[in-house]
Amino acid sequence: MARAFSISSANDALRIDQQGHGEVAFTVTNVSARPVRGRFKVKLLDKPGTAAIGADAFSIGGESERSFNPNDTQQIPVRVKVPAGAAQGKYSFRLDGINVDSPDEDYTEGPALAIEVKPPGPAKRKFPWWILAVLALVLLVGGGVGYMIMKKMGGVELPSVTGMPYADATEQLRALGLVATRTSQATASAPPEQVIDQSPSASQKVKKGSEVGLTVAVAEPVTPTAPVVPADPFAGNWVNKDPNTNDITRINVRDTDGSYTVHAYGKCSPQDCDWGAVAAARSGNVLNLTWDQGFVVRKMNILREDSELIVTTDSNYKDTRPSRHSVQTFKRARSILSNEIKASRSLLGETLRRLGDD
């Protein structure tokens, strides 16, 4: 089954400062064609009992469960706070994403990042406070020089645009010679198109032409009501949605105490060809089976998706004919039979009405 998320990072390691704090960003993209809600967690890859730090030293910035529109990309920061007294060593961790709607089948493992806990530095010596007067003088003179250099280089102090409408924020940044980049995040805590975060943060100085990342609120997608399906998602009679198909016209799936049998019929004239019945193995939401018809071996996968079956068939011929791949959609036969009954009733009623008029 295709994974809903792609997780990457521009870094290969998480750097920690002297206080034991560090932060790194992961880029998460919904690579599916449907809205997905994901749950994210940090996994420490070292064996239990050997790590100087535990998984509880890591935290995710913002919400750990988020909604993604199709092809949506979001930045998820991961922070670490190394506990005091932790032993030195090198360790690794990653960010994992789980599809909330299919947690047992759809999960994605992010790239492994390194983290190194270094031994504490030497004890600090008593600071010579007299040097502060010298530093103050140097800063007073150097600050003026630095300001002039920054002004000459075109440095800009970033304003705070968090809480502003996205259009107003981009206009303000554009006026300062900066370029706004957008990342959408579905949330109900802010109105749509409002900026809820920026990177770099306000008051930092950057060069003109620099990019400023804006996280913009979008409305959370409405989850459609799940259709009512039988207890067994496969069992029953199914017909091809394409009435003019030249391939499989109908299939019958039977479940006997968890053992599946698939009976298929192919397009023939004057009546459909009976392929017979073969056993199928179920793996999650898919049935796998093989038809050996002498002149051809067909490998078939039957996927239950919503109220339909998606049947994928790979036919490998034993003669000179090339292999063939096909994907077909099937609906339950009872729904089509119901439409035919309605049409027959309507035709019968019209016929009786005309007879009455005569």
Buried/exposed code over 20-47 (b: 16+ C-beta within 10 A; e: otherwise):
bebebbbebbbbbeebbbbebebebebe
Question: Could you tell me the CA-to-CA distances from 150 to 135, 143, 153, 201, 335 in Å, in that order?
Answer: 20, 10, 5, 18, 73
CB count in 10 Å sphere of residue 73: 16
Nearest to 180 by CA among 196, 191, 169: 169
Q: Which pairs with CB-CB distance under 8 Å and at least 24 residues apart come from 325-329? A: 326/247, 328/240, 328/241, 328/242, 328/245, 328/247, 328/248, 329/240, 329/241, 329/242
Q: Which residues pair with 28 in a beta bridge?
A: 7, 74
Q: What is the C-alpha to C-alpha distance for residues 180 and 169, in angstroms, rounded to an integer?
A: 8
pLDDT given for residue 134 in this prediction:
80
Contact predicate 178/206, CB 8 Å: yes
pLDDT given for residue 341 in this prediction:
59
Q: Which two tokens stand for residue 278?
A: 């073969």
Q: What is the C-alpha to C-alpha distance for residues 154 and 10, in angstroms, rounded to an integer?
A: 27
Nearest to 2 by CA among 74, 75, 103, 108: 108
Q: Does the reported pTM lie above 0.75?
A: no
The torsion region of residue 236 among left (phi > 0), alpha (psi -120 to 50) and beta comes to: left
Per-residue pLDDT of the chain (358 residues; tens, 9 = 90+): 678 999 999 999 988 888 889 999 999 999 988 999 999 999 988 765 556 677 788 999 989 999 999 999 999 999 999 887 777 778 889 999 999 999 888 989 999 999 887 766 555 566 677 688 888 887 876 666 555 655 555 578 999 999 999 999 999 999 999 999 999 999 989 999 999 999 999 999 999 999 999 999 999 887 766 655 556 899 999 999 999 999 999 999 999 988 999 999 999 988 999 999 999 999 989 999 998 988 899 999 999 998 899 999 999 999 999 999 999 999 998 754 455 556 567 667 776 777 777 6
Kindly list the structural domains of the chain, giving each domain's residue range(s) and its CATH number in brackets, ordered by start. Answer: 5-117 (2.60.40.10), 131-218 (3.30.10.20), 236-339 (2.40.128)
- Tell me, rounded to whole angstroms, the distance of Cα 357 from its chain centroid: 63
pLDDT given for residue 288 in this prediction:
96
Question: Please, how many CA atoms are within 13 Å of residue 278, restricted to the half-sphere of its CB?
Answer: 18
Contact predicate 329/241, CB 8 Å: yes
292, containing H or E segment: strand 286-292
pLDDT given for residue 184 in this prediction:
94
Contact predicate 73/90, CB 8 Å: no
Residues with Cβ within 8 Å of 139's Cβ and at least 6 positions away in sequence, in order, are none
pLDDT given for residue 151 in this prediction:
57
DSSP 338: H
The torsion region of residue 85 among left (phi > 0), alpha (psi -120 to 50) and beta comes to: left
Q: Which two tokens stand for residue 270?
A: 């004057």
Amino acid letter at 163?
G
pLDDT given for residue 69 in this prediction:
95
